[in-house]
Amino acid sequence: MNITCPHCKTRLNIPDNKIPRDKDSSFKCPKCQEKVQVLVSQLNLSVPRSPKNADPKKESMGTGISSVQGREQALVCMDDSPVRDKLVAALQGLWFHVEATGSTSSALKKMAYQSYPLVLLSESFDQNKGFLAMSTHMNELDMSLRRRICLVLFSDRLPTGDPMSALHSSVNYIVGSDSLSYVEVILTTALTEHQTFYRVYNESMRAAGKA
Overall average pLDDT of the 166-194 stretch = 92
Domain residue limits at 79: 56-207
Domain count, the chain: 2
Residues 25 and 102 in one domain: no
For residues 31 and 121, membership in a common domain is answered with no
Q: Are 65 and 36 contained in the same domain? A: no
SS3 117: coil
**Averaged pLDDT for residues 183-202:** 84
Which positions ≥6 away from 13 have C-beta within 8 Å? 1, 2, 3, 188, 189, 192
Q: Is residue 127 part of a domain?
A: yes
CATH number at residue 64: 3.40.50.2300
Same domain? 120 vs 94: yes
Instruction: Give the mean model confidence (pLDDT) for residues 6-14.
Output: 75
Identify which of 176, 101, 125, 127 has the alpha carbon closest to the alpha carbon of residue 136: 125
**Residue 16 pLDDT class (50, 70, 90 cuts):** low
At residue 34, does pLDDT exceed 70? yes
Residues whose CB falls within 8 Å of the CB of residue 145, separated by 6 or more in sequence, listed in order: 115
DSSP bridge partners of 12: 3
Q: What would the mean pLDDT of 180-203 be, rounded to a whole number?
A: 85
Q: Are residues 11 and 105 in the same domain?
A: no
- Please check whether residues 67 and 38 belong to one and the same domain: no
Domain check: are 114 and 84 in the same one? yes
pLDDT > 90 fraction of the chain, expressed in percent and rounded: 45
Q: What is the pLDDT of residues 113-130, one digit of tens each?
A: 888 999 999 999 998 889
Task: Give the pLDDT of residue 17.
Answer: 65
Same domain, 92 and 195: yes
Identify whether residues 37 and 62 lie together within a single domain: no
Please choose, from the candidates 122, 143, 135, 125, the residue with its C-alpha nearest in 3D space to the C-alpha of residue 210: 143
Q: What is the pLDDT of residue 105?
A: 95
**Distance (Å) of CA 74 to CA 12, 45, 172:** 21, 31, 15
- The single-letter DSSP state of residue 180 is G
Both 76 and 25 in one domain: the answer is no
Residue 188 · residue 14 · CB < 8 Å: yes
Residue 7 pLDDT more than 80? yes
The pLDDT score that the predictor gives to residue 175 is 95
The verdict on residue 51 lying in a domain is: no
In-domain check, residue 49:
no
Q: What is the pTM of this model?
A: 0.67
Label residue 30 by pLDDT band (50, 70, 90). confident
Confidence of residue 71 (pLDDT cuts 50, 70, 90): confident
Q: Report the distance separating Cα 33 and Cα 159, nearest Å.
A: 10
Residue 158 covered by a domain: yes
One domain for residues 60 and 153:
yes
Q: Taking a C-beta distance cutoff of 8 angstroms, is the pair 172, 195 a contact?
A: no
Q: Are 172 and 152 spatial neighbours (Cβ–Cβ below 8 Å)?
A: yes
In a domain, 104, yes or no: yes
Question: Is residue 48 assigned to a domain?
Answer: no
Residue 179 lies in a domain: yes
For residues 21 and 76, the model is more confident at: 76
Query: What average pLDDT is seen over the chain?
Result: 80
Residue 50 located in a structural domain: no
Whether residues 93 and 11 share a domain: the answer is no
